[in-house]
Chains A and B, each alone.
Chain A
Amino acid sequence: MATTTTTSGVYIHVIEDVVSKVREEFVNNGGPGESVLSELQGIWETKMMQAGVLSGPIERSSAQRPTPGGPLTHDLNVPYEGTEEYETPTAEMLFPPTPMQTPLPTPLPGTADNSSMYNIPTGSSDYPTPGTENGSHVDVKARPSPYMQPPSPWTNPRLDVNVAYVDGRDEPERGNPNQHFTQGLFVPSTGKRKRDDSSAQYQNGGSIPQQDGASDALPMATLVGDTLCITFVGDKRVPRDFICSSSKIPQVDGPMPDPYDEMLSTPNMYSYQGPSEDFNEGRTPAPNEIQTSTPVTAQTDVIEDDEELLNEDDDDDELDDLESGEDMNTQHLVLAQFDKVTRTKSRWKCNLKDGIMHINDKDILFNKALGEFEF
């Protein structure tokens, strides 16, 4: 094949590979059968040709049609790239098997989840034991009740993320919270946790109590609907778009003991820059609700105002309008994996690999890519 069709060749190879692997599924497991598989491949190849990325005769294709050309590329892309949420499938990427996205309307409940876990080891050693007592829910609940956790379904994916943050000391508790969350909300806290004194207000019964603090700074910002909570922790200006749909879950803050903050700094290893202090300074994802680890709510309000003011200019309205105005599919796109992303002052370098670039209506595949950007 000519050089220009190398991409096409790769695609053909991919399609064939996929089809061959799937053929077993189709035929052996009583699936749709070979004919359906062939039809699948044919349609797939047809669409690829219509998209202009696949060219040349395909031996298996039984539905060869003339390629209308590039313009269809946009049409094909529209249904999928029209929404912002699809474009940044952060949580999806990481946890495709997970039915729930980690995010949650706010990261707060999740952080509460983390925070509760953090406190557990320090608060008391009783928590691990309840975890083993799966049978006696009632008794066990008395202890984990202070969790104040949101419903379990999404805590599970949450836990997966938490694993990355916490070294594993929370694992004993994980089995616990899942079982008792839904009921734990209604059990008064027993004061086992450090924060219980201040968390009495959490026992709202129906609402989801929440504690904030440095936990908000958790890099595991979550994908919330169509927005992203950025949790870039660094000494630079914090990325904009702190649009964590924070207005959905009422939040009550409480004093954050220092150890809590220290523990929270652990997950920051996740990001490229360690300290969570930047977030404590006031750069919180959702200025409206997520607050720094300030014990005083009033102070937090002040910070909110400041942040709102400060954040006003962060959003590049021009770019936002541009992004939302023009179809996202017309914007050139690169999908890849990154090996390393570094920054020196305002100079960014990133090592990408195994990527597909769609620029200038062309698909270019690459094994490695070195990017140097100036911010």
Chain B
Amino acid sequence: MATFELYRRSTIGMCLTETLDEMVQSGTLSPELAIQSMTEALESQVKTKVTIKGHLHTYRFCDNVWTFILQDAMFKSEDRQENVSQVKIVACDSKLLTQ
């Protein structure tokens, strides 16, 4: 039951983590289960496609995790576009998760 702790850093993940931390005193639920549910739900729910363009400042591949740091990147979604001066992209190998 391997899940990516990747999503723990997302807003939803961190909120959950904080909530779990607060709930520790009153009895802990299984964090793994909660996070796994979050991951599965996330994977099945998101349906948007995004295009990213930018200047790659840094790339890193370590333990099957790609980390890119982009500068002056443009994220183009279906109906909107975002521009950022600097963004970090952390990506795990999807093949590992589906093993």
Contacts and interface: CB of A to CB of B under 8 A. Distances in A.
A334 B61 CA distance: 15
Given A51-B11, A337-B6, A230 B60 contact: yes
A13 B41 contact: yes
Interface residues of A, number: 99
Interface in A227-257: 228-232, 239-241
Contact of B86 (A223, A239, A332, A356): A332
B46 to A, nearest CB: 4
Interface of B: 1-12, 14-20, 22-23, 26-30, 32-34, 37-38, 40-43, 45-70, 75, 77, 79, 82, 84, 86-94, 96-97
Interface string A309-328: 00000001001001000001
Contact of B88 (A87, A93, A350): A87
Interface string A347-368: 0101011111111101111111
A335 B59 CA distance: 15
Given A356-B42, A364-B77, A102 B63 contact: yes
Given A219-B61, A370-B51, A47 B15 contact: yes
A336 interface: yes
B25 to A, nearest CB: 10
Interface of A: 3, 6, 10-11, 13-15, 17-18, 21-22, 25-26, 31-33, 36-37, 39-40, 43-44, 47-48, 51, 53, 73, 76-77, 80-81, 86-94, 96-97, 102, 161, 219-223, 228-232, 239-241, 270-272, 316, 319, 322, 328, 331-339, 341, 348, 350, 352-360, 362-375
A91 B2 CA distance: 13
Lowest 9 A-B CB distances belong to which pairs? A32-B27, A373-B56, A90-B63, A338-B91, A47-B15, A371-B52, A337-B94, A18-B37, A332-B87
A285 B3 CA distance: 28
12 contacts: A31-B27, A88-B65, A93-B65, A96-B5, A230-B61, A339-B94, A350-B66, A350-B91, A352-B89, A372-B52, A373-B56, A373-B70
A87 B60 CA distance: 13
Main secondary structure of the interface of A (DSSP, over half): mixed
A238 to B, nearest CB: 11
Contacts of B67: 88
Contacts of A13: 41, 45
